[in-house]
């Protein structure tokens, strides 16, 4: 699987050409925890990324620090599983917080903003072969997509929802006594299906509530994020 992920990434870059960053957002996933003393700086940096139109910043709270005295109310074992899957795909033997994954392929320490910014700039210049259209009417989300070339394997179509902001009083653990503001807290990450990109994609799905909607199309692995779109 690692060999496929590398080949897929190389193929996309080889076929790419520079475009304006606003033409396609770069997805930044932050794996974080309220129980980690190294995370607040990364959480604060993610807040600045959340304000950008050219970035989809997502905070995925993991649960493996809950044992040290403070249970993260936003933690989900599925996010821990996703982070571990990234590690396996990259042939890494451990996970940590705070970690950021940029467009599904770049692994970087989340409280190193200069490094993260450089990776965002790098991926903003990679041409996106897939265009996504989103339209919501009531509780029905309509997704359409087309690709200017067939991908080497089907891409995974995923629906993500998040809370834009929440304040938390942390009363125990490594961050005890701190009042933290968290941004773009992922509440749902749902696989909608696979698309082989040989023909246009159209799908309708139910969505509840007024949280922003993100659609991410990603190579298996998890591998490179090929395309993304958002409705706020």
Mapping DSSP onto H, E and C, the string for 151-166 reads: CCCCEEEEEEEEEEEE
| Res 18 pLDDT > 90 | no
pLDDT digits (tens, 9 = 90+) for 134-187: 999 999 999 999 999 988 899 999 999 999 999 999 999 999 999 999 999 999
Please state, in angstroms and rounded to a whole number, the distance separating the CA atoms of residues 141 and 132: 13
CATH class of the domain defined by 2-224: alpha beta
Cα 135–Cα 138–Cα 142 angle in degrees, nearest 5: 30
Cis omega (within 30 of 0) on the bond before 151? no
Distance CA 104, CA 89 (A): 10
Neighbours of 71 (CB within 10 A): 14
pLDDT tens digits for range 88-142: 999 999 999 999 999 999 999 999 999 999 999 999 999 889 999 999 999 999 9
Worst-scoring range by mean pLDDT, 5-9, 26-30, 47-51, 53-57? Answer: 5-9
pLDDT tens digits, one per residue of 48-63: 999 999 999 999 999 9
**What is the layout of strands, in order, in the sheet containing 179-195?**
106-109, 99-102, 26-32, 55-61, 179-195, 155-169, 213-218, 225-231
Examine the pLDDT at 13 and tell me if it is beyond 70.
Answer: no
**CA within 13 Å, CB half, 136:** 16
Closest CA to 34 of 166, 162, 174: 174
Q: What's the pLDDT at 62?
A: 98
- Which pLDDT belongs to residue 194? 98
Q: For residue 199, what are the contacts with CB-CB under 8 A and spacing of at least 6?
A: none
CA 62 to chain CA centroid, Å, is: 14
pLDDT at 22: 38
pLDDT of residue 27 exceeding 80: yes
């Amino acid at each position: 699987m690692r060999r496929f992920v590398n080949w897929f990434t190389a193929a996309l870059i080889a076929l790419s050409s520079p475009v304006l960053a606003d033409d396609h957002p770069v997805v930044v996933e932050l794996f974080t925890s309220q129980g980690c003393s190294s995370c607040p700086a990364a959480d604060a940096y993610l807040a600045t990324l959340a304000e950008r139109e050219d970035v989809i910043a997502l905070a995925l709270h993991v649960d493996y620090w809950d044992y040290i005295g403070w249970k993260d109310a936003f933690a989900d074992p599925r996010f821990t599983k996703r982070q571990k899957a990234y590690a396996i795909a990259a042939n890494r033997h451990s996970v940590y917080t705070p970690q950021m994954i940029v467009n599904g392929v770049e692994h970087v320490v989340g409280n190193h903003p200069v490094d993260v910014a450089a990776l965002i700039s790098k991926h903003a210049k990679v041409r996106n072969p897939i265009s996504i259209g989103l339209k919501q009417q009531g509780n029905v989300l309509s997704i359409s997509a087309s690709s200017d070339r067939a991908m080497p394997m089907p891409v995974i179509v995923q629906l993500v929802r998040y809370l834009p902001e929440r304040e938390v009083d942390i009363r125990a653990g490594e961050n005890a006594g701190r009042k933290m503001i968290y941004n773009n807290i992922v509440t749902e990450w749902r696989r909608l299906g696979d698309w082989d990109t040989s023909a246009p994609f159209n799908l309708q799905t139910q969505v509840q509530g007024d949280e922003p909607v993100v659609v991410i199309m990603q190579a298996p692995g998890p591998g490179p994020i090929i395309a993304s779109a958002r409705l706020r």
